Chains A and B, each alone.
Chain A
């Protein structure tokens, strides 16, 4: 439009000048400009009839793996002299190779293809549309349109492997697993001694105990090992997140949740995931690889959010979790959280709290001024009191300084069950 305006301005300027000065030579100067304008008018682009399709090499990847995007634009209308096709990339997606825009001329029925590869951090990426700019003869007139070309893919969170996470819920399921079930029967660990009953294996007979009683035979009992229900709760409340220039603390919570979900599922447990943030996001409990995939998909899309209702943990829908099961909360913890967690413990749930340390995380960003150091010390003391409260209520706590790799921190604190 600027080109048109400029040419129009010059043409009219020259015509007015020629009329004002009665000089025909000035009129002659307008002729090349008029011919240029005329050529543009005659061959302006007609209504764009374009079809665009997008294909992605996969619908989910792990961080660092690229996704190949293919865009095909087909001209179903008349000849287009100049076509600029630009794909609109979702924010924070990094283009690895290939090109996201192409310029060409398109005959009727002609196609042009864009191929490029992108990669991104954990999250869901939506492609919505492409921008097409078609110029006519000399591009004096242009038509610009956005064509819908939807597509999406997920970058799943990275799974770090944990060796073993020891849990002791008060109730287990019927299937055999690795969690001590507080019931005698076949197993590995010694549980107790009971009177022999027909059908018991003879190799379980406790000869010492039997020798002390003339008429009775005793056998050893072992603690049964079963699978359990594990409810993972990810704290996605905005106020518990600590953003920084290098990322946010929430990403560490995601990393811990992913690792724990993987470890519990590998041990054969039934695992559900609850994301507590702006809204309630519940992944129904399940077993095995499919459940692992479901949880990873849910975690890939998780982001911190603020919701007035969910500012405190009091609205945690505990009915979703089987009674006396194991709950694992991954949260940096807020000052009022212990009260709600103690209530949960009182209802019979076994609780494990994995808490990425927000103070150490934030401290990296802060200067070493005296006031900051003092404030950090106060915050540390407050956190110590907060964690102490939880431990006093028989809640296991893993205070995780995020500079330590999670498997290392988890191995030290969670590989053996310690009654606190």
Chain B
């Protein structure tokens, strides 16, 4: 299970670095490659916090890349690959405490299938969204902002309920 996660980490960081390198932001590309190597190296030893940090770093770098006008395709691909790496790493850690796996192949195959669907759909819809142009006026932005705030408060309430 570590291998698919490592491949995903490699894909996430290399696509990100490529996106930065294509815009001649070499220093950032080298920094991203370095971060990817650190993520790969620490994957075996560190806890799940590292993979979470890796996902945050990749998404943040992708967001900066989009903001700086780099190729959004690479940024989106990088986000999706980082998400897959993060999920696969968590899956590997979940099955680790189990001394015995019953139907191991079936369990892994089912998880890969679910992840593939989610990742494929995310990539597809993300690409569609990138090709769409929607004009957002001030009212629309405010409406969207309100929706975000309401959604945010709902999520906090939900988390509190689950915590209780």
Contacts and interface: CB of A to CB of B under 8 A. Distances in A.
Contact of A6 (B56, B62, B99, B163): B56
A408 interface: no
Given A26-B66, A135-B94, A33 B87 contact: no
B102 A112 contact: yes
B59 A29 contact: yes
Contacts of A99: 99-100
A299 B75 CA distance: 71
B97 A101 contact: yes
B108 to A, nearest CB: 10
Contacts of B62: 29
Interface residues of A, number: 48
Nearest to B162: A1
Given A35-B122, A103-B101, A12 B148 contact: yes
22 contacts: A14-B63, A17-B67, A24-B133, A25-B67, A28-B66, A28-B72, A28-B130, A31-B126, A32-B79, A32-B80, A33-B59, A36-B83, A82-B94, A84-B94, A101-B97, A102-B99, A103-B95, A103-B101, A105-B103, A112-B102, A135-B94, A138-B115
Interface string B62-81: 11001100001001100110
Contact of A8 (B110, B125, B155): B155
Interface string B102-136: 11001100110011011101110110011001101
A242 interface: no
A413 interface: no
B142 to A, nearest CB: 9
A279 interface: no
A1 B122 contact: no
B26 interface: no
A23 B115 contact: no
A13 B59 CA distance: 10
B164 to A, nearest CB: 12
B91 to A, nearest CB: 7
Interface in A1-28: 1-6, 8-10, 12-17, 19, 21-28
A104 interface: yes
Most buried by B among A16, A84, A103: A103
A86 interface: yes
Given A103-B95, A135-B94, A5 B159 contact: yes
Contact of B122 (A32, A84, A86, A102): A32
Nearest to A27: B129
Given A4-B159, A29-B76, A31-B126, A22 B97 contact: no
A6 to B, nearest CB: 5
A16 to B, nearest CB: 7
Given A10-B59, A32-B123, A105-B110, A16 B97 contact: no
Nearest to B132: A24
A313 interface: no
A25 B70 CA distance: 10
B67 A86 contact: no
Given A5-B159, A33-B79, A28 B100 contact: no
Contacts of A21: 67
B28 interface: no
Contacts of A4: 159
Interface of B: 48, 52, 55-56, 59, 62-63, 66-67, 72, 75-76, 79-80, 83, 87, 90-91, 94-95, 97-103, 106-107, 110-111, 114-115, 117-119, 121-123, 125-126, 129-130, 133-134, 136, 141, 144-145, 148, 152, 155, 159, 162-163
Given A35-B125, A102-B99, 13 more contacts: A9-B56, A14-B63, A16-B148, A17-B67, A28-B72, A31-B122, A31-B129, A32-B122, A35-B121, A39-B117, A104-B101, A105-B107, A112-B102
B129 A3 contact: no
Contact of B52 (A6, A86, A114): A6
Interface string A90-127: 00000000011111110000001010000000000000
B114 A6 contact: no
B38 to A, nearest CB: 19
Given A103-B95, A138-B115, A12 B55 contact: no
A81 interface: yes
Contact of A36 (B118, B148, B152): B118
A199 B111 CA distance: 95
Contacts of B155: 8
A139 interface: yes
B83 A1 contact: no
B100 A114 contact: yes
Contact of A86 (B87, B90, B97): B97
Nearest to A85: B98
A52 to B, nearest CB: 15
Interface in A227-279: none
B125 A25 contact: no
A140 to B, nearest CB: 9
B48 to A, nearest CB: 8
Nearest to A84: B98
